[in-house]
Chains A and B, each alone.
Chain A
Protein backbone atom coordinates (compact mmCIF):
# COMPACT_ATOMS: atom_id res chain seq x y z
CA UNK A 1 0.00 0.00 0.00
CA UNK A 2 2.72 2.47 1.01
CA UNK A 3 5.01 1.83 -1.93
CA UNK A 4 2.22 2.74 -4.35
CA UNK A 5 1.60 6.11 -2.66
CA UNK A 6 4.40 7.95 -4.49
CA UNK A 7 3.57 6.64 -8.00
CA UNK A 8 -0.14 7.34 -7.57
CA UNK A 9 0.62 10.81 -6.23
CA UNK A 10 2.88 11.50 -9.20
CA UNK A 11 0.25 10.38 -11.68
CA UNK A 12 -2.43 12.50 -10.01
CA UNK A 13 -0.09 15.52 -9.96
CA UNK A 14 0.70 14.95 -13.65
CA UNK A 15 -3.01 14.82 -14.47
CA UNK A 16 -3.58 18.13 -12.66
CA UNK A 17 -0.66 19.77 -14.51
CA UNK A 18 -1.95 18.49 -17.86
CA UNK A 19 -5.41 19.77 -16.92
CA UNK A 20 -3.99 23.28 -16.30
CA UNK A 21 -2.09 23.23 -19.58
CA UNK A 22 -5.22 22.25 -21.47
CA UNK A 23 -7.28 24.85 -19.61
CA UNK A 24 -4.89 27.58 -20.76
CA UNK A 25 -4.69 26.22 -24.29
CA UNK A 26 -8.44 25.75 -24.77
CA UNK A 27 -9.47 29.03 -23.17
CA UNK A 28 -6.81 31.18 -24.85
CA UNK A 29 -8.66 31.74 -28.20
CA UNK A 30 -11.50 33.49 -26.38
CA UNK A 31 -9.11 35.85 -24.57
CA UNK A 32 -7.16 36.60 -27.76
CA UNK A 33 -10.44 37.31 -29.47
CA UNK A 34 -11.44 39.70 -26.69
CA UNK A 35 -8.12 41.48 -26.89
CA UNK A 36 -8.30 41.74 -30.66
CA UNK A 37 -11.78 43.26 -30.43
CA UNK A 38 -10.62 45.77 -27.88
CA UNK A 39 -7.73 46.53 -30.23
CA UNK A 40 -5.09 45.82 -27.59
CA UNK A 41 -2.21 43.42 -27.32
CA UNK A 42 -2.38 41.00 -24.45
CA UNK A 43 0.74 40.02 -22.55
CA UNK A 44 1.25 36.28 -22.12
CA UNK A 45 1.27 36.40 -18.30
CA UNK A 46 -2.01 38.32 -18.37
CA UNK A 47 -3.35 35.84 -20.93
CA UNK A 48 -2.60 32.89 -18.69
CA UNK A 49 -4.11 34.61 -15.68
CA UNK A 50 -7.28 35.44 -17.62
CA UNK A 51 -7.72 31.95 -19.04
CA UNK A 52 -7.77 30.49 -15.55
CA UNK A 53 -10.44 32.87 -14.27
CA UNK A 54 -13.10 32.96 -16.97
CA UNK A 55 -16.81 33.01 -16.20
CA UNK A 56 -17.73 30.33 -18.74
CA UNK A 57 -14.47 28.66 -19.74
CA UNK A 58 -14.27 25.90 -22.33
CA UNK A 59 -12.36 23.91 -19.73
CA UNK A 60 -12.42 25.27 -16.19
CA UNK A 61 -9.19 25.07 -14.22
CA UNK A 62 -9.07 22.67 -11.25
CA UNK A 63 -9.04 25.45 -8.68
CA UNK A 64 -12.18 26.98 -10.21
CA UNK A 65 -13.96 23.66 -9.91
CA UNK A 66 -12.69 23.24 -6.35
CA UNK A 67 -13.89 26.72 -5.45
CA UNK A 68 -17.32 26.10 -7.00
CA UNK A 69 -17.62 22.87 -5.03
CA UNK A 70 -16.61 24.68 -1.84
CA UNK A 71 -19.13 27.44 -2.54
CA UNK A 72 -21.97 25.05 -3.22
CA UNK A 73 -21.33 22.64 -0.37
CA UNK A 74 -19.86 24.38 2.63
CA UNK A 75 -21.20 27.88 2.07
CA UNK A 76 -24.77 26.94 1.14
CA UNK A 77 -27.44 25.56 3.43
CA UNK A 78 -27.85 21.82 2.90
CA UNK A 79 -31.54 22.19 2.11
CA UNK A 80 -30.93 24.89 -0.50
CA UNK A 81 -31.65 23.92 -4.12
CA UNK A 82 -28.27 25.33 -5.09
CA UNK A 83 -26.40 23.14 -2.67
CA UNK A 84 -24.46 20.25 -4.16
CA UNK A 85 -25.01 18.30 -0.96
CA UNK A 86 -28.75 18.41 -1.60
CA UNK A 87 -28.35 17.23 -5.20
CA UNK A 88 -25.86 14.53 -4.23
CA UNK A 89 -28.31 13.30 -1.60
CA UNK A 90 -31.10 13.05 -4.16
CA UNK A 91 -28.87 10.99 -6.43
CA UNK A 92 -27.46 8.94 -3.59
CA UNK A 93 -30.87 7.95 -2.23
CA UNK A 94 -32.07 6.52 -5.54
CA UNK A 95 -28.66 4.91 -6.09
CA UNK A 96 -28.86 3.12 -2.76
CA UNK A 97 -32.47 2.04 -3.19
CA UNK A 98 -31.69 0.69 -6.67
CA UNK A 99 -28.53 -0.99 -5.44
CA UNK A 100 -30.35 -2.77 -2.62
CA UNK A 101 -33.18 -3.90 -4.89
CA UNK A 102 -30.73 -4.96 -7.61
CA UNK A 103 -28.56 -6.94 -5.21
CA UNK A 104 -31.64 -8.65 -3.77
CA UNK A 105 -32.96 -9.51 -7.22
CA UNK A 106 -29.53 -10.74 -8.34
CA UNK A 107 -29.16 -13.03 -5.32
CA UNK A 108 -32.70 -14.37 -5.76
CA UNK A 109 -32.11 -15.15 -9.44
CA UNK A 110 -28.76 -16.77 -8.67
CA UNK A 111 -30.31 -19.01 -6.00
CA UNK A 112 -33.08 -20.05 -8.39
CA UNK A 113 -30.62 -20.70 -11.22
CA UNK A 114 -28.31 -22.78 -9.06
CA UNK A 115 -31.21 -24.95 -7.87
CA UNK A 116 -33.02 -25.42 -11.16
CA UNK A 117 -31.45 -26.94 -14.23
CA UNK A 118 -34.26 -25.66 -16.45
CA UNK A 119 -33.84 -22.08 -15.27
CA UNK A 120 -30.09 -22.33 -15.69
CA UNK A 121 -30.39 -23.31 -19.33
CA UNK A 122 -33.32 -21.06 -20.23
CA UNK A 123 -32.82 -17.94 -18.10
CA UNK A 124 -29.05 -17.52 -18.05
CA UNK A 125 -28.64 -16.70 -21.77
CA UNK A 126 -31.38 -14.07 -21.43
CA UNK A 127 -29.74 -12.51 -18.42
CA UNK A 128 -26.62 -12.03 -20.51
CA UNK A 129 -28.63 -10.74 -23.48
CA UNK A 130 -30.45 -8.31 -21.20
CA UNK A 131 -27.20 -6.43 -20.70
CA UNK A 132 -26.53 -5.98 -24.40
CA UNK A 133 -29.68 -3.83 -24.43
CA UNK A 134 -28.51 -0.30 -23.75
CA UNK A 135 -30.89 0.17 -20.82
CA UNK A 136 -29.59 3.65 -20.17
CA UNK A 137 -30.95 4.54 -23.56
CA UNK A 138 -34.49 3.66 -22.53
CA UNK A 139 -34.15 5.25 -19.10
CA UNK A 140 -36.02 8.36 -20.29
CA UNK A 141 -38.88 6.23 -21.53
CA UNK A 142 -39.19 4.32 -18.27
CA UNK A 143 -39.25 7.55 -16.30
CA UNK A 144 -41.73 9.31 -18.55
CA UNK A 145 -44.03 6.30 -18.84
CA UNK A 146 -44.03 5.61 -15.11
CA UNK A 147 -44.71 9.29 -14.53
CA UNK A 148 -47.74 8.99 -16.80
CA UNK A 149 -49.10 6.18 -14.61
CA UNK A 150 -48.52 8.21 -11.51
CA UNK A 151 -45.36 6.57 -10.23
CA UNK A 152 -42.82 9.31 -9.81
CA UNK A 153 -40.02 10.39 -7.56
CA UNK A 154 -37.51 7.92 -6.26
CA UNK A 155 -38.82 4.62 -7.58
CA UNK A 156 -38.47 5.01 -11.38
CA UNK A 157 -34.85 6.15 -11.05
CA UNK A 158 -34.14 3.35 -8.61
CA UNK A 159 -35.60 0.84 -11.07
CA UNK A 160 -33.02 1.80 -13.68
CA UNK A 161 -30.28 1.32 -11.10
CA UNK A 162 -31.86 -2.02 -10.21
CA UNK A 163 -31.82 -3.21 -13.80
CA UNK A 164 -28.17 -2.28 -14.15
CA UNK A 165 -26.96 -3.63 -10.83
CA UNK A 166 -28.75 -6.99 -10.72
CA UNK A 167 -26.62 -8.35 -13.55
CA UNK A 168 -23.13 -8.39 -11.99
CA UNK A 169 -24.62 -9.74 -8.75
CA UNK A 170 -26.57 -12.51 -10.49
CA UNK A 171 -23.60 -13.62 -12.59
CA UNK A 172 -21.15 -13.41 -9.68
CA UNK A 173 -23.47 -15.21 -7.28
CA UNK A 174 -24.18 -18.07 -9.71
CA UNK A 175 -20.43 -18.58 -9.86
CA UNK A 176 -20.11 -18.17 -6.09
CA UNK A 177 -22.96 -20.51 -5.14
CA UNK A 178 -21.43 -23.15 -7.39
CA UNK A 179 -17.95 -22.69 -5.95
CA UNK A 180 -18.10 -25.07 -2.95
CA UNK A 181 -15.89 -28.16 -3.25
CA UNK A 182 -17.49 -31.39 -4.38
CA UNK A 183 -16.01 -32.87 -1.19
CA UNK A 184 -17.88 -30.39 0.97
CA UNK A 185 -21.13 -30.94 -0.94
CA UNK A 186 -20.72 -34.68 -0.46
CA UNK A 187 -20.08 -34.15 3.23
CA UNK A 188 -23.33 -32.21 3.50
CA UNK A 189 -25.08 -35.09 1.77
CA UNK A 190 -23.71 -37.59 4.29
CA UNK A 191 -25.16 -35.35 7.01
CA UNK A 192 -28.44 -35.72 5.05
CA UNK A 193 -28.70 -31.94 4.90
CA UNK A 194 -31.69 -30.50 3.09
CA UNK A 195 -31.27 -28.17 0.10
CA UNK A 196 -32.01 -25.21 2.30
CA UNK A 197 -29.38 -26.24 4.81
CA UNK A 198 -26.78 -26.75 2.09
CA UNK A 199 -27.61 -23.34 0.72
CA UNK A 200 -27.49 -21.55 4.04
CA UNK A 201 -24.60 -23.35 5.72
CA UNK A 202 -22.28 -24.13 2.81
CA UNK A 203 -23.11 -22.36 -0.45
CA UNK A 204 -23.90 -18.93 1.00
CA UNK A 205 -20.70 -18.54 3.07
CA UNK A 206 -18.56 -19.77 0.17
CA UNK A 207 -20.25 -17.32 -2.18
CA UNK A 208 -19.69 -14.23 -0.02
CA UNK A 209 -16.34 -13.18 -1.55
CA UNK A 210 -17.97 -13.35 -4.99
CA UNK A 211 -20.91 -11.31 -3.68
CA UNK A 212 -18.71 -8.49 -2.47
CA UNK A 213 -16.70 -8.34 -5.69
CA UNK A 214 -19.91 -8.08 -7.70
CA UNK A 215 -21.37 -5.54 -5.29
CA UNK A 216 -18.44 -3.23 -5.96
CA UNK A 217 -19.28 -3.24 -9.66
CA UNK A 218 -23.01 -3.02 -8.92
CA UNK A 219 -22.81 0.04 -6.68
CA UNK A 220 -20.74 1.98 -9.23
CA UNK A 221 -23.14 1.10 -12.03
CA UNK A 222 -26.16 1.98 -9.84
CA UNK A 223 -24.81 5.50 -9.56
CA UNK A 224 -24.55 5.78 -13.34
CA UNK A 225 -28.14 4.57 -13.62
CA UNK A 226 -29.38 7.11 -11.10
CA UNK A 227 -27.58 9.98 -12.84
CA UNK A 228 -28.92 9.09 -16.29
CA UNK A 229 -32.36 8.54 -14.77
CA UNK A 230 -32.38 12.16 -13.66
CA UNK A 231 -31.81 13.56 -17.14
CA UNK A 232 -35.36 13.28 -18.52
CA UNK A 233 -37.28 14.37 -15.43
CA UNK A 234 -36.95 17.94 -16.59
CA UNK A 235 -33.84 18.63 -14.57
CA UNK A 236 -35.53 18.88 -11.19
CA UNK A 237 -32.93 17.67 -8.74
CA UNK A 238 -29.89 15.47 -8.53
CA UNK A 239 -26.42 15.40 -10.06
CA UNK A 240 -27.82 14.41 -13.47
CA UNK A 241 -30.08 17.45 -13.37
CA UNK A 242 -27.07 19.64 -12.55
CA UNK A 243 -25.31 18.24 -15.62
CA UNK A 244 -28.32 18.94 -17.82
CA UNK A 245 -28.97 22.51 -16.60
CA UNK A 246 -25.24 23.17 -16.83
CA UNK A 247 -25.21 22.07 -20.44
CA UNK A 248 -28.33 24.11 -21.27
CA UNK A 249 -26.88 27.34 -19.93
CA UNK A 250 -23.22 26.76 -20.81
CA UNK A 251 -22.23 26.69 -17.13
CA UNK A 252 -19.14 24.57 -17.57
CA UNK A 253 -17.95 25.07 -14.01
CA UNK A 254 -21.28 23.72 -12.76
CA UNK A 255 -20.98 20.65 -15.03
CA UNK A 256 -17.49 19.91 -13.84
CA UNK A 257 -18.37 20.34 -10.18
CA UNK A 258 -21.29 17.92 -10.62
CA UNK A 259 -18.94 15.49 -12.36
CA UNK A 260 -16.36 15.72 -9.61
CA UNK A 261 -18.98 15.14 -6.92
CA UNK A 262 -20.28 12.13 -8.86
CA UNK A 263 -16.72 10.81 -8.99
CA UNK A 264 -16.24 11.35 -5.27
CA UNK A 265 -19.58 9.68 -4.55
CA UNK A 266 -18.61 6.66 -6.67
CA UNK A 267 -15.24 6.37 -4.96
CA UNK A 268 -16.82 6.61 -1.50
CA UNK A 269 -19.47 3.99 -2.30
CA UNK A 270 -16.96 1.53 -3.72
CA UNK A 271 -14.67 2.08 -0.73
CA UNK A 272 -17.56 1.49 1.69
CA UNK A 273 -18.40 -1.83 0.03
CA UNK A 274 -14.71 -2.72 0.13
CA UNK A 275 -14.43 -1.93 3.84
CA UNK A 276 -17.55 -3.90 4.72
CA UNK A 277 -16.21 -6.82 2.71
CA UNK A 278 -12.96 -6.71 4.68
CA UNK A 279 -14.82 -6.67 7.99
CA UNK A 280 -17.06 -9.59 7.03
CA UNK A 281 -14.11 -11.58 5.66
CA UNK A 282 -12.13 -11.05 8.82
CA UNK A 283 -15.01 -12.13 11.05
CA UNK A 284 -15.45 -15.23 8.91
CA UNK A 285 -11.76 -15.99 9.17
CA UNK A 286 -11.25 -15.62 5.41
CA UNK A 287 -8.72 -12.78 5.36
CA UNK A 288 -7.03 -12.76 2.00
Chain B
Protein backbone atom coordinates (compact mmCIF):
# COMPACT_ATOMS: atom_id res chain seq x y z
CA UNK B 1 0.00 0.00 0.00
CA UNK B 2 1.21 3.42 -0.98
CA UNK B 3 -0.28 5.67 1.65
CA UNK B 4 1.62 8.87 0.82
CA UNK B 5 -0.31 9.73 -2.33
CA UNK B 6 -3.57 8.70 -0.70
CA UNK B 7 -3.02 11.19 2.10
CA UNK B 8 -2.06 13.91 -0.38
CA UNK B 9 -5.25 13.23 -2.35
CA UNK B 10 -7.41 13.34 0.78
CA UNK B 11 -5.80 16.59 1.91
CA UNK B 12 -6.29 18.09 -1.55
CA UNK B 13 -9.91 17.00 -1.54
CA UNK B 14 -10.59 18.54 1.86
CA UNK B 15 -8.76 21.70 0.84
CA UNK B 16 -10.83 21.98 -2.35
CA UNK B 17 -14.00 21.42 -0.36
CA UNK B 18 -13.12 24.13 2.14
CA UNK B 19 -12.22 26.50 -0.70
CA UNK B 20 -15.57 25.81 -2.34
CA UNK B 21 -17.46 26.47 0.89
CA UNK B 22 -15.61 29.75 1.16
CA UNK B 23 -16.21 30.64 -2.51
CA UNK B 24 -19.94 29.95 -2.29
CA UNK B 25 -20.22 32.30 0.67
CA UNK B 26 -18.35 35.05 -1.18
CA UNK B 27 -21.11 36.36 -3.50
CA UNK B 28 -19.26 39.33 -5.06
CA UNK B 29 -21.27 42.18 -6.55
CA UNK B 30 -19.27 42.54 -9.71
CA UNK B 31 -20.65 40.35 -12.49
CA UNK B 32 -17.55 38.93 -14.26
CA UNK B 33 -16.02 37.94 -10.95
CA UNK B 34 -19.19 36.15 -9.85
CA UNK B 35 -19.29 34.31 -13.18
CA UNK B 36 -15.69 33.15 -12.94
CA UNK B 37 -16.32 31.96 -9.38
CA UNK B 38 -19.27 29.95 -10.66
CA UNK B 39 -16.89 28.30 -13.14
CA UNK B 40 -14.14 27.83 -10.59
CA UNK B 41 -16.28 25.90 -8.10
CA UNK B 42 -17.13 22.94 -10.37
CA UNK B 43 -13.57 23.02 -11.76
CA UNK B 44 -12.15 22.63 -8.25
CA UNK B 45 -14.64 19.86 -7.52
CA UNK B 46 -13.63 18.01 -10.68
CA UNK B 47 -9.94 18.40 -9.91
CA UNK B 48 -10.54 17.03 -6.40
CA UNK B 49 -12.42 14.08 -7.87
CA UNK B 50 -9.55 13.25 -10.25
CA UNK B 51 -7.04 13.63 -7.41
CA UNK B 52 -9.09 11.27 -5.27
CA UNK B 53 -9.29 8.77 -8.15
CA UNK B 54 -5.50 8.91 -8.57
CA UNK B 55 -4.96 8.61 -4.83
CA UNK B 56 -7.25 5.63 -4.40
CA UNK B 57 -6.04 3.67 -7.43
CA UNK B 58 -2.35 4.23 -6.69
CA UNK B 59 -2.72 4.21 -2.91
CA UNK B 60 -4.56 0.91 -2.66
CA UNK B 61 -2.58 -0.62 -5.58
CA UNK B 62 -5.77 -1.28 -7.52
CA UNK B 63 -5.03 -3.35 -10.62
CA UNK B 64 -4.74 -1.15 -13.71
CA UNK B 65 -7.01 -3.60 -15.50
CA UNK B 66 -9.77 -2.77 -13.08
CA UNK B 67 -9.40 1.00 -12.98
CA UNK B 68 -6.32 2.72 -14.39
CA UNK B 69 -5.24 5.94 -12.62
CA UNK B 70 -5.82 9.23 -14.50
CA UNK B 71 -2.09 9.78 -15.01
CA UNK B 72 -1.80 6.50 -16.91
CA UNK B 73 -4.83 7.36 -19.04
CA UNK B 74 -3.34 10.73 -19.82
CA UNK B 75 -0.04 9.14 -20.83
CA UNK B 76 -1.96 6.82 -23.15
CA UNK B 77 -3.87 9.71 -24.69
CA UNK B 78 -0.67 11.63 -25.32
CA UNK B 79 1.08 8.63 -26.88
CA UNK B 80 -1.71 7.57 -29.24
CA UNK B 81 -3.12 10.80 -30.58
CA UNK B 82 -3.05 9.54 -34.17
CA UNK B 83 -5.18 6.45 -33.43
CA UNK B 84 -7.64 8.47 -31.38
CA UNK B 85 -7.88 11.05 -34.16
CA UNK B 86 -8.53 8.40 -36.83
CA UNK B 87 -11.28 6.87 -34.68
CA UNK B 88 -12.74 10.28 -34.00
CA UNK B 89 -12.87 11.13 -37.71
CA UNK B 90 -14.48 7.79 -38.57
CA UNK B 91 -17.13 7.87 -35.83
CA UNK B 92 -17.79 11.52 -35.13
CA UNK B 93 -16.96 13.45 -38.30
CA UNK B 94 -18.54 10.92 -40.64
CA UNK B 95 -21.26 8.89 -38.91
CA UNK B 96 -22.43 11.24 -36.15
CA UNK B 97 -22.39 14.51 -38.07
CA UNK B 98 -24.05 13.11 -41.20
CA UNK B 99 -26.67 11.19 -39.24
CA UNK B 100 -27.34 14.06 -36.86
CA UNK B 101 -27.84 16.56 -39.68
CA UNK B 102 -30.13 14.28 -41.70
CA UNK B 103 -32.12 13.09 -38.67
CA UNK B 104 -32.70 16.52 -37.15
CA UNK B 105 -33.48 18.18 -40.48
CA UNK B 106 -35.96 15.51 -41.58
CA UNK B 107 -37.60 15.48 -38.16
CA UNK B 108 -37.99 19.24 -38.41
CA UNK B 109 -39.43 19.17 -41.94
CA UNK B 110 -41.86 16.35 -41.14
CA UNK B 111 -42.96 18.20 -38.00
CA UNK B 112 -43.86 21.29 -40.04
CA UNK B 113 -45.74 19.15 -42.56
CA UNK B 114 -47.55 17.29 -39.76
CA UNK B 115 -48.45 20.55 -38.07
CA UNK B 116 -50.51 21.66 -41.10
CA UNK B 117 -52.78 18.60 -40.83
CA UNK B 118 -54.54 18.35 -37.43
CA UNK B 119 -55.53 14.74 -38.15
CA UNK B 120 -51.89 13.72 -38.61
CA UNK B 121 -50.85 15.70 -35.57
CA UNK B 122 -53.33 13.87 -33.39
CA UNK B 123 -52.31 10.50 -34.78
CA UNK B 124 -48.54 10.88 -35.13
CA UNK B 125 -47.81 12.55 -31.83
CA UNK B 126 -48.72 9.64 -29.52
CA UNK B 127 -46.90 7.23 -31.85
CA UNK B 128 -43.88 9.55 -31.98
CA UNK B 129 -43.89 9.84 -28.21
CA UNK B 130 -43.95 6.07 -27.90
CA UNK B 131 -41.12 5.60 -30.40
CA UNK B 132 -39.06 8.28 -28.65
CA UNK B 133 -39.25 6.11 -25.48
CA UNK B 134 -38.38 2.87 -27.27
CA UNK B 135 -34.93 1.28 -27.26
CA UNK B 136 -34.26 2.46 -30.82
CA UNK B 137 -30.64 1.42 -30.44
CA UNK B 138 -31.82 -2.12 -31.12
CA UNK B 139 -32.12 -1.39 -34.83
CA UNK B 140 -28.32 -1.17 -35.01
CA UNK B 141 -27.81 -4.78 -36.16
CA UNK B 142 -30.50 -4.35 -38.82
CA UNK B 143 -28.93 -1.17 -40.14
CA UNK B 144 -25.51 -2.85 -40.26
CA UNK B 145 -27.11 -5.62 -42.31
CA UNK B 146 -28.76 -3.17 -44.70
CA UNK B 147 -26.10 -0.53 -45.18
CA UNK B 148 -22.88 -2.48 -44.67
CA UNK B 149 -20.01 -2.18 -42.21
CA UNK B 150 -18.79 1.31 -43.04
CA UNK B 151 -20.02 4.55 -41.48
CA UNK B 152 -23.22 4.69 -43.54
CA UNK B 153 -24.96 2.12 -41.35
CA UNK B 154 -23.95 4.06 -38.22
CA UNK B 155 -25.29 7.26 -39.73
CA UNK B 156 -28.55 5.46 -40.48
CA UNK B 157 -28.90 4.43 -36.82
CA UNK B 158 -28.23 8.01 -35.78
CA UNK B 159 -30.86 9.28 -38.24
CA UNK B 160 -33.54 7.02 -36.76
CA UNK B 161 -32.52 7.83 -33.18
CA UNK B 162 -32.55 11.60 -33.67
CA UNK B 163 -35.63 11.83 -35.88
CA UNK B 164 -38.34 11.20 -33.29
CA UNK B 165 -37.17 13.49 -30.47
CA UNK B 166 -36.90 16.26 -33.06
CA UNK B 167 -40.36 15.52 -34.48
CA UNK B 168 -42.08 15.43 -31.10
CA UNK B 169 -40.35 18.54 -29.77
CA UNK B 170 -40.90 20.62 -32.90
CA UNK B 171 -44.59 19.76 -33.03
CA UNK B 172 -44.91 20.71 -29.36
CA UNK B 173 -42.95 23.90 -30.01
CA UNK B 174 -45.11 24.94 -32.94
CA UNK B 175 -48.10 24.79 -30.60
CA UNK B 176 -46.30 26.97 -28.05
CA UNK B 177 -47.12 30.42 -29.45
CA UNK B 178 -50.04 32.03 -27.66
CA UNK B 179 -53.51 32.51 -29.14
CA UNK B 180 -53.17 36.27 -28.60
CA UNK B 181 -50.05 36.52 -30.71
CA UNK B 182 -51.57 34.41 -33.44
CA UNK B 183 -54.64 36.64 -33.46
CA UNK B 184 -52.37 39.63 -33.73
CA UNK B 185 -50.70 38.08 -36.77
CA UNK B 186 -54.12 37.55 -38.30
CA UNK B 187 -55.06 41.20 -37.77
CA UNK B 188 -51.86 42.03 -39.66
CA UNK B 189 -53.29 39.90 -42.49
CA UNK B 190 -50.18 37.72 -42.51
CA UNK B 191 -50.32 34.43 -44.37
CA UNK B 192 -49.43 30.95 -43.11
CA UNK B 193 -45.75 31.21 -44.02
CA UNK B 194 -45.33 34.67 -42.55
CA UNK B 195 -46.89 33.55 -39.27
CA UNK B 196 -44.69 30.47 -39.33
CA UNK B 197 -41.40 32.26 -39.94
CA UNK B 198 -42.01 35.37 -37.85
CA UNK B 199 -43.98 34.05 -34.89
CA UNK B 200 -44.27 30.30 -34.55
CA UNK B 201 -40.74 29.18 -35.42
CA UNK B 202 -39.09 31.67 -33.07
CA UNK B 203 -41.54 30.61 -30.36
CA UNK B 204 -40.65 26.97 -31.05
CA UNK B 205 -36.90 27.55 -30.78
CA UNK B 206 -36.53 26.59 -27.08
CA UNK B 207 -38.20 23.25 -27.86
CA UNK B 208 -36.10 22.72 -30.99
CA UNK B 209 -32.90 23.42 -29.08
CA UNK B 210 -34.01 21.02 -26.38
CA UNK B 211 -34.29 18.32 -29.05
CA UNK B 212 -30.94 19.31 -30.56
CA UNK B 213 -29.27 18.93 -27.16
CA UNK B 214 -30.91 15.58 -26.41
CA UNK B 215 -29.94 14.40 -29.88
CA UNK B 216 -26.31 15.44 -29.56
CA UNK B 217 -25.70 12.80 -26.86
CA UNK B 218 -28.03 10.27 -28.46
CA UNK B 219 -26.17 10.54 -31.77
CA UNK B 220 -22.79 9.76 -30.22
CA UNK B 221 -24.21 6.81 -28.30
CA UNK B 222 -25.95 5.48 -31.40
CA UNK B 223 -22.86 5.63 -33.57
CA UNK B 224 -20.61 3.99 -30.96
CA UNK B 225 -23.02 1.20 -30.07
CA UNK B 226 -23.76 0.49 -33.74
CA UNK B 227 -20.05 -0.18 -34.20
CA UNK B 228 -20.29 -3.11 -31.78
CA UNK B 229 -22.26 -4.95 -34.48
CA UNK B 230 -19.58 -4.76 -37.13
CA UNK B 231 -17.17 -2.14 -38.45
CA UNK B 232 -14.08 -1.62 -40.52
CA UNK B 233 -11.03 -1.69 -38.25
CA UNK B 234 -11.32 1.94 -37.21
CA UNK B 235 -13.82 3.80 -35.07
CA UNK B 236 -14.41 4.57 -31.42
CA UNK B 237 -16.86 1.74 -30.82
CA UNK B 238 -14.59 -0.73 -32.58
CA UNK B 239 -11.59 0.42 -30.53
CA UNK B 240 -13.50 0.17 -27.26
CA UNK B 241 -14.75 -3.35 -27.88
CA UNK B 242 -11.41 -4.71 -29.12
CA UNK B 243 -9.28 -3.03 -26.45
CA UNK B 244 -11.60 -4.35 -23.75
CA UNK B 245 -10.97 -7.80 -25.17
CA UNK B 246 -7.20 -7.21 -24.97
CA UNK B 247 -7.57 -5.82 -21.43
CA UNK B 248 -6.02 -2.49 -22.47
CA UNK B 249 -8.40 -0.60 -20.23
CA UNK B 250 -6.33 2.60 -20.35
CA UNK B 251 -6.92 2.82 -24.11
CA UNK B 252 -10.65 2.38 -23.51
CA UNK B 253 -10.60 5.25 -21.03
CA UNK B 254 -8.71 7.34 -23.58
CA UNK B 255 -11.55 6.76 -26.07
CA UNK B 256 -14.07 7.59 -23.36
CA UNK B 257 -12.20 10.81 -22.69
CA UNK B 258 -12.40 11.73 -26.38
CA UNK B 259 -16.10 10.86 -26.49
CA UNK B 260 -16.84 12.85 -23.36
CA UNK B 261 -14.88 15.80 -24.71
CA UNK B 262 -16.72 15.68 -28.03
CA UNK B 263 -20.08 15.29 -26.27
CA UNK B 264 -19.46 18.13 -23.82
CA UNK B 265 -18.11 20.45 -26.51
CA UNK B 266 -21.06 19.92 -28.84
CA UNK B 267 -23.47 20.33 -25.92
CA UNK B 268 -21.73 23.55 -24.89
CA UNK B 269 -21.74 24.83 -28.47
CA UNK B 270 -25.47 24.17 -28.74
CA UNK B 271 -26.08 25.91 -25.42
CA UNK B 272 -24.19 29.00 -26.65
CA UNK B 273 -26.11 28.96 -29.91
CA UNK B 274 -29.37 28.63 -28.00
CA UNK B 275 -28.49 31.63 -25.88
CA UNK B 276 -27.82 33.65 -29.03
CA UNK B 277 -31.01 32.57 -30.81
CA UNK B 278 -33.47 32.59 -27.90
CA UNK B 279 -32.07 35.64 -26.11
CA UNK B 280 -35.66 36.77 -25.50
CA UNK B 281 -36.56 33.72 -23.40
CA UNK B 282 -37.29 34.41 -19.69
CA UNK B 283 -34.63 31.94 -18.52
CA UNK B 284 -31.86 34.11 -20.06
CA UNK B 285 -33.27 37.50 -19.14
CA UNK B 286 -32.36 37.67 -15.49
A266 within 8 A of B: yes
Partner of A259, one of B20, B138, B249: B138
Contact A136 B225 (CB under 8 A): yes
On A, residues with C-beta under 8 Å from B are 3-4, 6-12, 15, 58, 117-118, 121-126, 129, 131-138, 140-141, 144-145, 148-149, 216-217, 220, 223-224, 227-228, 231-232, 239, 243-244, 246-247, 250, 252, 255-256, 258-259, 262-263, 266-267, 270
Tell me the smallest distance from the CB of B254 to a CB of chain A, in Å. 12
| Contact residues, B232-249 vs A (CB, 8 A) | 236-237, 240-241, 244-245, 249
Contact B127 A11 (CB under 8 A): yes
Given A126-B46, A129-B260, A227-B138, A137:B236 Cβ within 8 A: yes
Contact A132 B66 (CB under 8 A): no
> CA–CA, A228 to B221, complex, Å?
11
Contact B256 A252 (CB under 8 A): no
Given A125-B42, A145-B65, A263:B123 Cβ within 8 A: no
Given A246-B141, A250-B145, A12:B127 Cβ within 8 A: yes
Contact A140 B244 (CB under 8 A): yes
B126 within 8 A of A: yes
Leading 10 A-B pairs by shortest Cβ distance: A7-B123, A247-B141, A132-B263, A122-B45, A11-B123, A137-B224, A7-B122, A125-B42, A220-B133, A133-B260
Partner of B123, one of A8, A122, A136: A8
Tell me the smallest distance from the CB of A2 to a CB of chain B, in Å. 11
Given A144-B244, A145-B249, A262-B138, A58:B122 Cβ within 8 A: no
> CA–CA, A216 to B132, complex, Å?
12
Tell me the smallest distance from the CB of A234 to a CB of chain B, in Å. 11
Contact B44 A122 (CB under 8 A): yes
| Contact residues, B39-59 vs A (CB, 8 A) | 41-42, 44-46, 49
> CA–CA, A129 to B256, complex, Å?
13
What are the residues of chain B within 8 A of A262 when measuring CB–CB? Answer: 134-135, 138
What are the residues of chain A within 8 A of B225 when measuring CB–CB? Answer: 136-137, 228, 231
Q: Which residue of A lies closest to B117 (CB)?
A: A7
| Contact residues, B194-219 vs A (CB, 8 A) | 216-217
Partner of A117, one of B24, B134, B245: B24
11 A/B residue pairs, CB under 8 Å, sorted by A? A10-B123, A11-B123, A118-B41, A122-B42, A124-B42, A126-B46, A132-B266, A134-B217, A259-B135, A262-B134, A262-B138
| Contact residues, B127-181 vs A (CB, 8 A) | 127, 130, 133-135, 137-142, 144-146
Contact B20 A134 (CB under 8 A): no
Given A4-B126, A145-B249, A250-B145, A137:B256 Cβ within 8 A: yes
Q: Which residue of A lies closest to B46 (CB)?
A: A126
**B 23-37 binary contact with A (CB < 8 Å = 1; else 0):** 110000000000000
Q: Which residue of B lies closest to A9 (CB)?
A: B123
How many residues does chain B have at the interface if contact means C-beta atoms less than 8 Å apart?
60
Task: Name B's interface SS.
Answer: helix
Contact B244 A270 (CB under 8 A): no
> CA–CA, A136 to B226, complex, Å?
11
Q: Which residue of A lies closest to B224 (CB)?
A: A137
Contact A134 B145 (CB under 8 A): no
What are the residues of chain B within 8 A of A267 when measuring CB–CB? Answer: 130, 133-134
> CA–CA, A288 to B124, complex, Å?
24
Partner of B241, one of A3, A10, A232: A232
Contact A58 B217 (CB under 8 A): no
> CA–CA, A280 to B138, complex, Å?
33
> CA–CA, A272 to B6, complex, Å?
47
> CA–CA, A134 to B45, complex, Å?
21
What are the residues of chain A within 8 A of B138 when measuring CB–CB? Answer: 227, 239, 243, 255, 258-259, 262
| Contact residues, B46-90 vs A (CB, 8 A) | 46, 49, 65-67
Q: Which residue of B lies closest to A123 (CB)?
A: B45
Given A118-B17, A258-B138, A148:B65 Cβ within 8 A: yes
Partner of B133, one of A125, A250, A255, A270: A270
Contact B120 A266 (CB under 8 A): no
Tell me the smallest distance from the CB of B40 to a CB of chain A, in Å. 10
> CA–CA, A227 to B138, complex, Å?
8
Q: Which residue of A lies closest to B126 (CB)?
A: A8
